[in-house]
Structure 1
Amino acid sequence: MPVIFTRDGVRRGVLRGIPLLLGIAPFGIVVGVIALRHGLTLAETLLMSALVFAGASQLLALELWTDPPDILAVALAAFVVNIRMVPIGAALSFWLDHLKGWRLWGSLFVTVDHSFALSVAEQRAGGRDAGFLFGLGVFTWVGWVASTAVGHVLGAAVAFSDENPIFFAAPASFVAILAALWRSPRQDVPPWLLAAATALGTQALRLPAPVPLLAGAFAGAALGAWREWRAQSVAVRR
């Protein structure tokens, strides 16, 4: 079936993004609070969230932030963390390959882990409207920028301790998106276990961040891609 891009698809993407705010908002608030702690103004925090739009790399960049900041080191760290968007973009080729102009570049700009997971689930369910990815991404982007602003303002008014449960929002939101990608234990457990084992093993070697994250991501992705290729090869031979 041909891929389409409609307003209805954009609207459905926006609606599917509403529940994501439960995970995105606390994560964004954490980034806003940490940005304030590192001396960023509200305008600087909003600009970073709007242009970078990647929670993991923003947190890492803030941890590396100094006064004056080492721009090259911060930019390089963010780049390395966001390398994972390369296989994510390739995995969304079922829609992206059929888009051009602002539809393609706009969708790429607002694509993050959450919109990727839900878009893959939508496509597996038979969805062919690429507007879903764009609408979901734009809504997520707006929610992210707004929540970091709230975090910055709250951080100036309320003192958050390092043990505050809100700081668990970041890992919790990433764990939650796995539910949308779940298919079956046989298909998903091996790549996920390899990714986790590789990340933990790399961390045990005391390699600096974000090496454990990248090692786990690429190990799991490689096994998952190989298993998909093998399954398709067997199906073709039959």
Structure 2
Amino acid sequence: MKQRKPEFIRGARANVPVAASAMAYGSVLGVLASQKGLGWLDMMYMNTAVFAGAAQFVMVDMWSSHMPIFEMTLAVLVINLRYLLIGASLDPLFSGKRLLHKIGMMHLVADENWAVTMSEQRRGSASTWFLFGGGVFLYMAWSSGTLIGLLGGGFIKRPEDYALDFAFTAVFTALAVGVWRGKSDVIPWVVAGGAALLTHHFLPGKWYIVAGGLAGALSAMIGPCEAEVDGEVEGEENAAGY
């Protein structure tokens, strides 16, 4: 227990910058939910049961009086398929842990605390409680933002006028910079971006998220490993006389 609490607090603190942005674009979701007639209990249940920003935006956007449950479920499933890749990348962190421990921790894994944890893992100082601390803090920030937007929805008719919608783009741009490892990431990132753009152009819905993630992952698997790339760079430097 002595080790859990410091790791939990450290994880929460590490996610403070991204949590501020999560609260901002969470407020946009709250405004949209207010315009759809959702109540605060609906919002809190959605935050707790789903806790996936992009999927929740799609759910609220599709919300209507005839409740297209099947369509909403399918759309959320497609968007959240990326968590298969996220979960796989966290396998070393959860190695040797019990199933209940994995289930409890993974429910609060979001793109933001995952990216922060992966950056910490490369320094060899991440843990499941670090991941969980960030998840709890993000959940609180996200829920606060959605409730603020929901309750103030009558006063903010157009969130884009206040640039609140840009917070979503800004935080993921910052996360991308944080997980960038250098030359070894160039090919997988280009492949992922190209696959996502092509899929978005030819297929409806959110399949581009899955296509980009899978294409990037496969490219990284079959491409040269990081050690080989580093060796090439070192060889180039030696040849140049450094």
Q: TM-score, normalised by structure 2?
A: 0.87
Which of the numbers 170, 180, 183 marks the counterpart of 1:182?
180
Match of 1:136, as an amino acid? G
Whether 1:197 aligns to 2:177 is: no
* Residue 234 (structure 1) shift: 10
Identity %: 30
Q: Which moved more, 1:158-167 or 1:65-74?
A: 158-167
Whether 1:208 aligns to 2:204 is: yes
Q: Distance in 2 between matches of 1:225 and 1:7?
A: 36
SS in structure 2 of the partner of residue 127 of structure 1: coil
Which of the numbers 163, 173, 176 marks the counterpart of 1:165?
163
Whether 1:130 aligns to 2:133 is: no
Match in the other structure for 2:146: 148
Which of the numbers 100, 104, 107 marks the counterpart of 1:106?
104
* Structure 1 residues without counterparts, runs of 5 or longer: none
Q: Distance in 1 between matches of 2:161 and 2:207?
A: 26
Which of the numbers 200, 208, 221 marks the counterpart of 2:217?
221
SS in structure 1 of the partner of residue 63 of structure 2: coil
* Structure 2 residues without counterparts, runs of 5 or longer: 231-242
Q: Distance in 1 between matches of 2:152 and 2:184?
A: 43
Which of the numbers 44, 47, 50 marks the counterpart of 2:45?
47
* Residue 21 (structure 1) shift: 2.0
**Equivalent residues, number:** 229
* Residue 64 (structure 1) shift: 1.7
Match of 1:198, as an amino acid? A
Max Rg structure: 2
* Residue 84 (structure 1) shift: 0.4
Q: Is the 1:5–1:130 Cα contact (8 Å) retained in structure 2?
A: no
Match of 1:220, as an amino acid? G
Q: Is the 2:26–2:146 Cα contact (8 Å) retained in structure 1?
A: yes
Match in the other structure for 2:233: none
Against the structure 1 CA distance between its residues 178 and 234, is the aligned structure 2 distance closer, same or farther, given a 3 Å change threshold? closer
Q: Distance in 2 between matches of 1:5 and 1:97?
A: 18
Q: Is the 1:28–1:145 Cα contact (8 Å) retained in structure 2?
A: yes
Q: Distance in 1 between matches of 2:204 and 2:30?
A: 24
Match of 1:83, as an amino acid? L
* Residue 23 (structure 1) shift: 1.6
Match in the other structure for 2:240: none
Q: Is the 2:12–2:134 Cα contact (8 Å) retained in structure 1?
A: yes
Q: Distance in 1 between matches of 2:3 and 2:93?
A: 9
Against the structure 1 CA distance between its residues 41 and 98, is the aligned structure 2 distance closer, same or farther, given a 3 Å change threshold? same
Q: TM-score, normalised by structure 1?
A: 0.88
Against the structure 1 CA distance between its residues 47 and 102, is the aligned structure 2 distance closer, same or farther, given a 3 Å change threshold? same
* Residue 107 (structure 1) shift: 1.1
